Amino acid sequence: MTRAISTSSVDAMPDSAAAKEEVLCDHCDLPVPAGLIDPEAEHQFCCGGCETVYNVLHGAGLEGYYGIRDAVAKDNQPAASSNQNYEELDDPAFQSACVTNLPGGECETELLLEGMHCAACVWLIERLPRVCPGVVESRANIRTRSAVVRYAPDRVPLSRVAQALDKLGYAAHPARGAGAREARRKEDRRFLIRVGVAGAIAGNVMLLAIALYGGALSGIDEFWEHTLRYYSMGLGLLSLIWPGRVFFRGAIAALRTRTAHLDIPVALALAVGGIWGSYNTLTQSGEIYFDSLSVLVFFLLVGRWVQHRQQRGAADQVELMLTLTPTSAERLLDDGTTKRVPIEAVELGMRVRVEAGGSIPCDGIIEQGTTQVDNALLTGESRPIPRAPGDEVIAGATNLGSPIVVTVSAIGDSTRAAKLMALVASATADKAPIVQFADRIAARFVIAVIVLATITLTFWTIRADLRTGIEFATALLIVTCPCALGLSTPMAMSIALGRAAKQGVLIKSAAAIEAMSNPAKLRGVMILDKTGTLTQGKTRVVRSECEPDLLQAAAAIEAASNHPLARAIIDASGDAPAPPAEGITQTPGAGIEGLVDGRRVRVGSPEFIRGSIGLDESTESAVESVLADGLTPVVIADDQGRVGVLGIGDPLRDDTTDAIAALRARGWDLHLCSGDHPEIATRLASQVGIEHAMGGASPERKAELVRTLREQGHERIVMVGDGINDAAAMALADVGIAVHGGAEAALQAADVYLTAPGVMPIETLCDLGSHTMKTIRIGLVVSLCYNTVAASLATAGLISALIAAIIMPMSSLSVVALATRPWKHKGAR
Amino acid sequence: MSVILIMIPGAMILAGLGVWAFIIAAKKGQFDDLDTPAIRAVFDDDDERPGWHDPSHTIQDEAAPQDQSPPSAH
């Protein structure tokens, strides 16, 4: 069935598109490329992946997926199958690490699924038993984008389960570190239990408090009053020692390490209020404070829980991205066949095959094949390096040319990548955590409150008696307890985390939001990596002084080559079919020549052409200017005297220049730090407007730069990068930002991960940071006003305890409402 | 009024039972995932009736048009 927009009734496409008789893919509703339309076929697909998924769905009677998808997720495209075979999942080494054996012979494992995003996905994934016999149950979790699959291993191997999920369009990745995940889950549950218990206690104490306040207004029998006060004390103390003990624990830990923390004033208020309240209950005199205290514990825990949940969501998504990096190797067996094995099962001396475009899984020596490798993620060097048999390759590099066979020479901790990771680990240990705004304020707050309380105590002791003094000092401590800081700060932070995620910025630690907010005051420095961060990290034709047909002829010849520059030339020549080329001869390291349409065309370095045909003056000057721009010149010449010059390099990302200007305007002191040649780094820095540039920087040098800048008195250092070579510096910096498409190590070291391409999301993060900090400050001022007014009126005896008890939650409510203050990014694209 | 002497402890015990049930549920992971069950409830009952969403075609009907009505109720 060929479905065109004009006949489709389910699509919510604009009418203007109806005129175009565009053929849409039967699976994903995207237009089918002209070359793939098959007029004979009943169904049309934009790619093989979509066709696989479509056939599986229809074969298993799961067409309902399309109905649900159209109903719930109009703009989300379904995922396509990647057709991998997942045989590494059946390896015993993997099975023992990631699969749980259940009683009864069944097994259970958790798989992270790429491409799961809506209700229709959940529906489909939970119908896995229908598609894949042997699977007993499949339960999806849309928040963590994972599924727990229970299956009978004697009926179906895990690889087949993963294949089935892949055929449905969800590439499956085993969730590594099951122990750590379970521990985090337990922590989440404990957190929730604390919130629930604190809430139940607060509710009940408030009920008792209503009776007591009612009694205070209209009179109450003394026996009942004391009974109710004893009950309040019992519940209030339970709240302090059960859910509330986290504040005491936090305060003690902070005091021990002599750091400022919000827990200190909170614990002080709770302790003094609890002790004096109990004393008053037992001596049957004065105020009890248990209603305020238990509500305080509950509110503060709710605030923390909301922030914790939001942060955990971002961490889960980053974890999913971590699993996307290859964790298996293709082992070459003695009989010449290959087998996928998990990376843990690779041993010294094994032979491993690496496909063109694949990532090299281990350090080793090339045994067969000549290729170019891209070490950009490890060294920052943007140019591909030629490698032949006998040469060394390192784990994490990309094989650009042709397939190679590598003999493994180092595994595990002894690889270059592992050594860099050790550097990251030591840098992480060195890093001093940012003292957050709330905690910094808390330090001054404690001093101010203690001073005020002492003054109140002395004043009223002299004026009245000790009892009145303690009474008023306690009231002051409780009423000034930093509820706004404790509640509105986490609320504002978690709202900011959610907004950032929508803009393509995943934040692992909320401190990063604050750290990005005010660079000018703290002499903030942002260090940017070049390759893959400011630039696209890919070789492209950046400058072309060449006629189109000559370029096409060059592309036709280069099609026979696997040189990375060839790829760039072919990409630049456009989509038109290349003319046939014959009689191609390659001169390694120089160029290539062949016959196209009867013309002899040569493509290569200026020296290559100079040696064969010679170059005229205008071409020489074009080559000069290409070199002056830091690009690699390639000359194309044919035997009719026509000459073209190409400049090939790593182009800037589209938004780099704008983003750099915006970041400078915010007051960031920008540094460029690249593993590439110093000259290239300097030129690029001046091109985009960065003052300081450092080239030829090893990972160790980059980390050293962070230390040096810190010694120079810069208090806020941000490192932006994409590769393993940046990871140590990222871990050491106050905030590490990994750009879209970065390496695994960069993800682990970073506090912030960009899911949208480009550098602009960093600017968005800065804007969001200053907005959020402003919100928090306003909240603080508002609540301080409430508290000051309430405290001074209460101490002067002008308002009753009842009104104070009403004002307190009102101040909390209004600061929470403030936290949702709308944010509109001015520089938004 | 002395009934309060029984009522308050009784209410406390009831509240305690509720909290106890909540803790058990939380420990068993009932609150681990709060998003998926909401979605799951919408389309849980078609498993036993394949093709229920569109009686006009069977599972084998490969050429079934896609613009069938969605199985979930609007």
Residue A382 pLDDT? 67
pLDDT band at A440 (very low <50, low <70, confident <90, very high): confident
Quick check: A797 pLDDT over 70?
no
Residue B67 pLDDT? 41
Number of other residues whose CB lies within 10 A of the CB of residue A337: 8
* A413-426 per-position pLDDT tens digit: 677 767 776 777 77
* A315-335 per-position pLDDT tens digit: 777 776 666 555 678 888 888
Quick check: A51 pLDDT over 70?
yes
Closest of A101, A819, A803 to residue A488, by C-alpha: A819
Quick check: B38 pLDDT over 50?
yes
Residue B13 pLDDT? 94
Quick check: B32 pLDDT over 90?
no
Over range A166-192, report the average pLDDT.
Answer: 81
pLDDT higher for A123 or A298? A298
Number of residues in chain B: 74
Which residues on chain A place their C-beta less than 8 Å from a C-beta of chain B? 1, 3, 8-10, 26, 42, 58-61, 63-64, 66-68, 70-72, 119, 122-123, 126-127, 139-144, 185, 188-189, 192-193, 196-197, 200, 204, 224, 227, 231, 235
Quick check: A156 pLDDT over 70?
yes
- The ranges of chain A annotated as CATH 2.70.150.10 are 328-360+363-410
Please give the structure tokens belonging to residue A792. 């001074």
Residue A670 pLDDT? 92
pLDDT higher for B52 or A460? A460
pLDDT higher for B51 or A208? A208
**Closest residue to A71, CB basis, from B47, B65, B70:** B70
Instruction: Tell me the chain B residues in contact with residue A122 when contact means C-beta distances shorter than 8 Å.
Output: 36, 39-40
CA closest to A116 among chain B residues? B36
Quick check: B63 pLDDT over 60?
no
pLDDT higher for A434 or A130? A130
Please tell me the distance from the alpha carbon of residue A456 to that of residue A453, in angstroms, as a whole number: 5
**Closest residue to B46, CB basis, from A42, A64, A70:** A64
pLDDT band at B21 (very low <50, low <70, confident <90, very high): very high
Instruction: Tell me the chain B residues in contact with residue A229 when contact means C-beta distances shorter than 8 Å.
Output: none
CB–CB of A142 and B35 under 8 A?
Answer: yes
- The CATH class for the domain spanning A328-360+363-410 reads mainly beta
Residue A195 pLDDT? 95
* A5-29 per-position pLDDT tens digit: 333 333 434 444 433 456 777 777 7
Instruction: Tell me the chain B residues in contact with residue A224 when contact means C-beta distances shorter than 8 Å.
Output: 1, 4
Please tell me the distance from the alpha carbon of residue A709 to that of residue A734, in angstroms, as a whole number: 12
> For the domain with range A511-534+653-767, which CATH number is right: 3.40.710.10, 3.40.50.10320, 3.10.580.10, 3.40.50.1000?
3.40.50.1000
pLDDT band at A175 (very low <50, low <70, confident <90, very high): confident
Quick check: B19 pLDDT over 90?
yes
Residue A724 pLDDT? 77
Quick check: A562 pLDDT over 80?
no
Between the alpha carbon of residue A506 and those of residues A49, A514, A534, the distances in Å are 29, 15, 19
pLDDT higher for A83 or A161? A161
Quick check: A798 pLDDT over 70?
no
Burial pattern B29-65, b for ≥16 Cβ within 10 A else e, equals eeeebeebeebbebbeeeeeeebebbeebeeeeeebe
Over range B41-63, report the average pLDDT.
Answer: 45
Residue A325 pLDDT? 53
- The ranges of chain A annotated as CATH 3.30.70.100 are 87-182
Quick check: A128 pLDDT over 60?
yes
Quick check: A600 pLDDT over 80?
yes
Quick check: B49 pLDDT over 50?
no
Most confident of the following: A83-87, A212-216, A295-299: A295-299
Quick check: A204 pLDDT over 90?
yes
Into which CATH architecture does domain A87-182 fall?
Answer: 2-Layer Sandwich (3.30)
Lowest-pLDDT range, A150-154, A177-181, A342-346, A706-710? A177-181
Lowest-pLDDT range, A73-82, A168-177, A445-454? A73-82
**Closest residue to A67, CB basis, from B5, B29, B69:** B69
pLDDT band at A294 (very low <50, low <70, confident <90, very high): very high
Partnered with residue A541 across adjacent β-strands are A648
Please give the structure tokens belonging to residue A79. 């995922």
User: By percentage, how much of chain A surpasses pLDDT 90?
Assistant: 13
- The ranges of chain A annotated as CATH 3.40.1110.10 are 540-649
Over range A284-304, report the average pLDDT.
Answer: 88
CA closest to B45 among chain A residues? A123
Residue B54 pLDDT? 39
Residue A654 pLDDT? 85
* A750-790 per-position pLDDT tens digit: 888 888 888 889 999 999 999 998 998 888 888 778 777 77
Quick check: B3 pLDDT over 80?
yes
Instruction: Tell me the chain B residues in contact with residue A60 when contact means C-beta distances shorter than 8 Å.
Output: 59
Between the alpha carbon of residue A735 and those of residues A428, A685, A825, the distances in Å are 11, 22, 21
SS3 A222: helix
On whether the CB atoms of residues B68 and A63 are closer than 8 A, the answer is: yes
Over range A456-468, report the average pLDDT.
Answer: 87
CB–CB of A10 and B67 under 8 A?
Answer: yes
CB–CB of A193 and B22 under 8 A?
Answer: yes
CB–CB of A200 and B18 under 8 A?
Answer: yes
On whether the CB atoms of residues A722 and A537 are closer than 8 A, the answer is: yes
pLDDT band at A198 (very low <50, low <70, confident <90, very high): very high
* A366-380 per-position pLDDT tens digit: 988 888 887 776 776
**Closest residue to A196, CB basis, from B8, B19, B40:** B19
* Minimal CA separation from A65 to chain B, in Å: 8
Residue A804 pLDDT? 62
Instruction: Tell me the chain B residues in contact with residue A141 when contact means C-beta distances shorter than 8 Å.
Output: 32-33, 35-36
Over range A473-493, report the average pLDDT.
Answer: 78
Residue A197 pLDDT? 96
Torsion of CA A102, A107, A111, A115, to 10 degrees: -120
Please tell me the distance from the alpha carbon of residue A32 to that of residue A441, in angstroms, as a whole number: 59
Q: Is the dihedral of CA A408, A411, A416, A417 positive or negative?
A: positive
* A255-277 per-position pLDDT tens digit: 898 887 888 888 988 999 999 99
CB–CB of A193 and B23 under 8 A?
Answer: yes
* Minimal CA separation from B69 to chain A, in Å: 6
On whether the CB atoms of residues A478 and A269 are closer than 8 A, the answer is: yes
Give, for A686, the enclosing helix (H) or strand (E): helix A678-688
φ, ψ for residue A404, nearest 5 deg: -130, 160
**Closest residue to A189, CB basis, from B18, B26, B43:** B26
CB–CB of A126 and B40 under 8 A?
Answer: yes
Residue A680 pLDDT? 81
Closest of A176, A14, A201, A195 to residue A93, by C-alpha: A176
pLDDT band at A177 (very low <50, low <70, confident <90, very high): low
Residue B58 pLDDT? 32
Rounded to the nearest 5 percent, the helix, strand and coil shares of chain B are 45, 0, 55
Between the alpha carbon of residue A739 and those of residues A237, A496, A750, the distances in Å are 49, 19, 9
Instruction: Tell me the chain B residues in contact with residue A188 when contact means C-beta distances shorter than 8 Å.
Output: 32
Over range A547-570, report the average pLDDT.
Answer: 80
pLDDT higher for A71 or A73? A71
CB–CB of B62 and A58 under 8 A?
Answer: yes
Residue A660 pLDDT? 92
CB–CB of A200 and B40 under 8 A?
Answer: no
CA closest to B69 among chain A residues? A67
Residue A239 pLDDT? 96
Which residues on chain B place their C-beta less than 8 Å from a C-beta of chain A? 1, 4-5, 8, 11-12, 15, 18-19, 22-23, 26-27, 29, 31-36, 39-40, 42-43, 46-47, 50-51, 53-54, 59, 62-72, 74
Q: What CATH number labels A540-649?
A: 3.40.1110.10
